[in-house]
Structure 1
């Protein structure tokens, strides 16, 4: 049965990547423009009835002081604002690395929340990476091992600016999905990094994460950023949506409003972000994953 009003509705921002820097046309990054673009997005969100607003990481491009300029804009939001951390959020001095999560109000870098029948899962895709922890942290050594193995295998996503989940987080995710299956909840996953379709921006352990998600009846959809061009694919009937980066292009914004119904997801795109309607199947499709 489909309902005329969404059961969950939220605003999404990917990769504001603000810094007080001159543009980098070669990368199509216009760092200073993100303050105005974020303000515009929040103004649009404030005119809508939303459950929350989520920023999918890369709040800043670099420099711990950049948080001081961009975070106050979220105080204008009349909706709760939730954050994930991306690779650029850790482009700070070594002394500030332990402070990044707290600076954006996170007690934990991965967490979950419940909105009605929906369980929202916020992942930390930088958990095991070459940049998110001090050099002498065991996670950094593990990250170097994982990256080296991927490079030896010729993996397209063997990039130093990607990351992976630690064993504790992967176990936590598996347990959350199992609990949601028992409770009859629907799980929406948010992450900075994609895991599908295959792409050089994907997490190092994409296959492990896909396996965990695809064996859960409660898993409904996956939203991420990191790949500023955006992407989309279906894996066993479930949508994996990569949103376009706000920081890109000299003139155009990019953000969206997502409305989730029992039978579909409606994405209303603004600026470069495209609008789309995605049908939700009741059971996992046995078909081959498709783009």
Structure 2
């Protein structure tokens, strides 16, 4: 078994920073996330890491929250990649279109390659009742999806969930094919889970799952959003829901993933657990 990994990357989920009093009902401490993130970045900076990904909900609410948390990320000596979550759009309506640019993202969804892997970062907020501007037809689409789920007795027809739209879905399918043709393994990243069944799952999780099921080169699907964390295996793919950094007064939650030829080793810090994911 080779001793050195091909590469490592860091994972942060749901720092959800805001200068707010704690939400004791949900055990969330948004103001404490600055110190927790600093601590996580100090740990990341001790390691040889290719990049660090934040799986959405950088802030809890308010545009000005970005001004406090983004400078903390500047202390990271590694490349950084952001995804956006529902809370990143809990801001004044005039800023809704500017969130990806504020986070320094190339666009709301994108992909990049590293050492024989293709990382696909999705924008799970595209169809939702919070990210599109007021009056945008995608808000109505989200309501219709929610109603269909509710009528079917599904758990995830919630207003805090979202879905990817048609164009992004086609792009995603195309990227999966491209990676397969190039002999790359794939890691999909989204704010929203799609498996196992849960009240936090994307509004179109069934459709997403059926797309993923058609490919045996998708190693893992990584997400946040459900702060309790979750885990499942379907086909050749591991579904890892990382725990929310914002939860608890002082216990952190983040991870370092080491990618080997035959497995992914997840080293959890704080509330995050260790896992060994043997490649199938």
TM range (shorter): over 0.9
User: Which runs of structure 2 are paired with 1:82-101 in the superposition (5 Å)?
Assistant: 82-101=81-100
Tell whether the 8 Å contact from 2:217 to 2:236 is kept in structure 1 after alignment.
no
C-alpha separation between the residues in 2 aligned to 1:257 and 1:7? 13
1:204 offset after TM fit, Å?
1.1
Aligned to 1:255: 254
1:218 offset after TM fit, Å?
2.1
| SS of residue paired to 1:32 | helix
Aligned to 1:187: 186
Tell whether the 8 Å contact from 2:55 to 2:85 is kept in structure 1 after alignment.
yes
Provide, for residues 59-83 of structure 1, a one-character-per-residue CA deviation record: whole Å limited to 9, x for no partner.
Answer: 0000000000000001100000100
Deviates more, 1:90-99 or 1:214-223: 214-223
Aligned to 1:143: 142
Structure 1: 5+ residue stretches without partners: 282-291
| SS of residue paired to 1:5 | coil
C-alpha separation between the residues in 2 aligned to 1:64 and 1:248? 21
1:258 offset after TM fit, Å?
0.4
Q: Does 1:274 align with 2:273?
A: yes
After superposing on structure 2, the runs of 4+ consecutive aligned residues of structure 1 that deviate more than 6 Å are none
Aligned to 1:18: 17
Provide, for residues 7-35 of structure 1, a one-character-per-residue CA deviation record: whole Å limited to 9, x for no partner.
Answer: 23100000000000011110110011100
1:103 offset after TM fit, Å?
0.4
Tell whether the 8 Å contact from 2:121 to 2:189 is kept in structure 1 after alignment.
yes
C-alpha separation between the residues in 1 aligned to 2:269 and 2:106? 31
Q: Does 1:71 align with 2:70?
A: yes
C-alpha separation between the residues in 1 aligned to 2:181 and 2:168? 20
Give the number of equivalent residue pairs: 280
Aligned to 2:177: 178
1:107 offset after TM fit, Å?
3.0
Tell whether the 8 Å contact from 2:242 to 2:272 is kept in structure 1 after alignment.
yes
- TM-score normalised by structure 2 residue count: 0.98
Structure 2: 5+ residue stretches without partners: none
